[in-house]
Amino acid sequence: MPDMNPAAPAKNDLPLKERMKIARTRMPEQDPAVRACNFLEVNLGLDPAAAANEATRCISCPKPGCMMQCPVNVKIDQVIALVYAGEYLKAAAKMREDNILPAITGRVCPQETQCEGGCALGKKGNSVAIGYIERFIADYERISGQLGVPPMAPPSGKKVAIVGSGPTALSAAGDLIQKGHRVRVFEALHELGGVLVYGIPEFRLPKDIVRLEIDNLRKMGVEFETNVVVGKSVTIDGLMNEEGYSAVLVATGAGLPQFLNVPGEHLNGVYSANEFLTRVNLMRAYKPDEYDEPVYDCRGKDVVVVGGGNVAMDAVRTSKRLGARTATIVYRRSEVELPARREEVHHAHEEGVEFRMLSNPVELLGDEKGWLTGVRCIRMELGEPDVKGRRRPIEVKGSEFDIPAQVAVIGIGTTSNPLIQSTTPDLKTNKWGYIIVDPETARTSKRGVFAGGDIVTGSATVILAMGAGRKAAKGIDDYLRTGEWA
Amino acid sequence: MYKIVDARTVGLNIRQLVIEAPRIARKYQPGQFVILRLHNKGERIPLTIKSSDPEAGTVTIVVQSVGKTTAMLSCLETGDSILDIVGPLGRPSEIEKFGTVAILAGSVGTAMALPTASALKQAGNHVVFVEGARSKEMVIFEDELRDASSEAYVMTDDGSYGEHGLVTKKLNDMLDAGRKIDFVLAVGPVPMMRAVAKITTPLGIKTMVSLNSIMVDGTGMCGGCRVLMGNQSKFACVDGPEFDASQVNFEVLMQRNTMYRDKECASLKAFNEQKDTQMAQLRADLAEEAEHHA
């Protein structure tokens, strides 16, 4: 599409009826049989022609539901118009006005319940593939080597400390540095990126993409310090009183793994999903010839993963790639209720993952040497809806059955990590231990301290964490400019 | 990158390293530990801190070669660096005035128990420090032992030095002699700590043990270090490393600590077979990292 006038990109003149006839683009993927044996990315991405074709499908609603349903309200209608016009770099820049990590969210957002869920075409199950387009422009920008460094405000002379380096932290860092503040990110682990690095597997989110986004922040002037456990290596008060930070953002993310509290959870071969994924992703246990980190050898083993969210899907598909003979999801509700992204469930099916729905572990079985041999489950049926409207699973008495397993991974969620709160007594938390903040400003009970992401809300999505980071950045900037803490 | 400013052998297969880590040095309290990673393809291992010098910005750790990472670490010399070190992790030892305190330390556990012993002595306790070692070559820090305690004993399994027998023999001797012991801290191999708990639990003597479970992150995030206390799960990295010995399920701890033993043995063997090449590779990797960091 030739660009005749940069101020007014080419418009989509195709009649609406024609646009709606175009079929939704399919994402090219690695063959399931091949990808189930490697850690390379499953989705291969669209080419420019496919992206332009997909952009053509947008019917340009006057009130774009996609934008309203996006947790950070990306101006999706304008982004798509720019893609239609072939202005991919401009589309990326437009995207970055609201979302600084499009290459990441394009891959991991649950689009079906957000932007694509708000798409007018979606009512017929045929929404514009906004996630694919997002990923395309972000990849195009990255491969072009023209990752934009946005304009920066003059230095404010104020220093902000950000605790954690996951999506909340990175998006806040990007905003705060642009507003002229000095920003330093403190990470407890040896590698930056938080859950994007230790949690989400390479085959869903290549780590090079995360590294590049971080390098870009570094270019913008954000400082990073790894191996600092705030609350242990230094306290919040230490950062503010001794190291000269005017504000601190607590963005420490997911907390302690929950276990089932059934007998046998200490058997060898039983992991939390956090441990299993951290060993494989952060510590690269999937490359045993190069790296020293061990993970239980899944080759030829039966692996059971308990849970139905994205973390459980990541773990089960990881085990398959590590050579598991069988890889089974055990979930207490039915497949309709699986909280994971629809695409992950679909991919897991294709890769040969077995789904034991309406089943719940009651005991983990082991041999006399303490190694796992199986998972004893009980069948469940769905009863009345609970407060969230989800039908409550109820045990079917006497329906126990055993699944052979030498590895079990428990991915049923997390509880808050008390590390920072316990050394910052004036930081108020709710009864579950999550930090209480003002929802508009992200201010905590402690002057100068802000919080956002999973440490406030409990486990959520990358995009919600990013949104929280942006909100916190705005709250921090307002505070630093006015000095008011009302 | 964290520089090793002093490295020395203190016993058979036991090395002491002083590492530049200013943040950790400033915040360290007795009983806490670090997690370190030698190179960019290495594993993360927990090691207890023996002492710190906040002014010099250094921490001292003591390491016994048991697996590949500890063997590699033991080969490092003054002037070398390691890639990552984080801490201080875990809860500090409880320092109170108990009265008479018995510290029972097995092999490299002596290094971990020394700072807590000193602190307990300073808090006004009468500290009896019993160090146990397999043989004379593995007796470490004997002078420091005497400084950190009011009474010090060295026991060797083979009788080649000090008194002949296990640390539990000394504990039993003291109890048989009618000495009142108000608090016990046991640090060492799991069977030794279990044996101590077996003696003190029925007598109702408050006893803490420092647990060396398998860890990855050290901040509570992975749960790999979970230990069974009664029928409750606790995480050694954030709830410990010290726990009430009467509650610890030592069998489960021993079982879990064997999880990667085969791999550990295999990788140690592979390392030992090509020690020189592996160390040359490590130093080359670290030099490259240093350049990258600069």
Task: Examine the pLDDT at A123 and tell me if it is beyond 90.
Answer: no
Decide which of 3.50.50.60, 3.40.1390.10, 1.10.10.10, 3.30.9.10 is the CATH code for A257-414: 3.50.50.60
pLDDT (0 to 100) of residue A4: 47
Candidates A271, A292, A419; nearest CB to B267: A292
pLDDT (0 to 100) of residue A421? 87
Distant-in-sequence, close-in-space partners of B264: CB < 8 Å, separation ≥ 6 = A294, B66, B67, B68
pLDDT of residue B262: 85
Of A189, A232, A294, the CB nearest to B217: A189
Query: For residue A148, what pLDDT is reported?
Result: 65
With cut-offs at 50, 70 and 90, classify the pLDDT of residue A300: very high
pLDDT category, A1, cuts 50, 70, 90?
very low
CB contact under 8 A, B219 and A284: no
| pLDDT at site A2 | 47
Indicate whether A288 pLDDT > 80: yes
Please name every residue paired with B279 in a beta bridge, in sequence order, or none if there are none: none
One-letter amino acid at B160 equals S
pLDDT at A116 exceeding the cut of 90: yes
Residue A236 to residue A245: CA distance in whole angstroms: 9
CB pairs under 8 A between A and B: 116
Closest to B122 in 3D by CA, of B95, B154, B158, B153: B95
Average pLDDT value over all residues in chain A: 92
Question: Is the preceding omega at residue B88 within 30 degrees of 0, hence cis?
Answer: yes
Q: Cβ contacts (< 8 Å) between B221 and chain A: which residues? A: 198, 254-257, 274, 278, 417
- CATH class, range A16-144: mainly alpha
Q: How far apart are CA B279 and CA B277, in angstroms?
A: 6
Mind listing the pLDDT tens digit for each residue in A135-158? 999 999 999 887 767 788 999 999
Whether pLDDT at A328 is above 90: yes
With an 8 Å Cβ cutoff, the interface of chain B facing chain A consists of 23-24, 27, 37, 41-44, 68-69, 83-89, 216-224, 226, 228, 233, 235, 238, 249, 251-252, 255-256, 258-260, 263-264, 267
How is chain B split among helix, strand and coil, in percent rounded to 5? 35, 30, 30
Among B254, B226, B258, B230, residue whose Cα is nearest residue B244 = B230
Chain A CA closest to residue B32: A232
Tokens of A82: 């720019």
What pLDDT shows up at residue B222?
Answer: 92
pLDDT range class, residue A284, cuts 50, 70, 90: confident
Q: Same fold for the domain at A16-144 and the one at A159-255+416-482?
A: no
Q: Contact A266/B252, CB-based, under 8 Å?
A: yes
- A285 CA to chain B: closest CA distance, Å? 10
pLDDT in tens, A7-46: 556 788 888 888 888 999 999 999 999 999 999 999 999 9
pLDDT score, position A69: 92
Residues of chain A with Cβ-Cβ distance to B220 below 8 Å are: 255-256, 417, 419
pLDDT value, residue A184 = 98
B60-98 residues labelled b (16+ CB within 10 A) or e (exposed) = bbbbbbebbbbbbbbbbeeebbbbbbbbbbbbbbbbeeb
Tell me the mean pLDDT per 10 residues along chain B, length 294. 96 95 97 94 92 97 92 94 96 96 94 96 97 95 95 96 95 95 96 96 96 90 92 91 95 88 87 91 89 78
Q: Which of B68, B220, B223 is opposite residue A419, by nearest beta carbon?
A: B220
Residues of A with CB under 8 A from a CB of B: 188-190, 198, 226-229, 232-234, 254-257, 259, 261, 265-269, 271-272, 274-275, 278-279, 283-284, 290-294, 296, 369-370, 417-419
Q: What's the pTM value of the predicted model, to 2 decimals?
A: 0.93
Distance CA B203, CA B200 (A): 5
> Containing H/E element for B61?
strand B58-64
Question: What is the C-alpha to C-alpha distance for residues A403 and A305, in angstroms, rounded to an integer?
Answer: 11
Domain ranges of chain A: 16-144, 159-255+416-482, 257-414
CB-CB under 8 Å, B256 with A229: no
Amino acid A79: pLDDT = 96
CA distance B93 to A29: 54
- Contact check, Cβ <8 Å, A417/B256: no
**For position B293, what pLDDT does the model report?**
74
Model confidence band, residue A242 (pLDDT cutoffs 50, 70, 90)? very high
In which residue are the tokens 């409880």 written? B94
CA distance, residue B67 to nearest chain A CA (Å): 11
Cβ contacts of B216 on chain A, cutoff 8 Å: 275, 278-279, 283
CB–CB contact B263 A294 (8 Å): yes
Class of domain A159-255+416-482: alpha beta
Say if the ipTM goes beyond 0.90.
yes
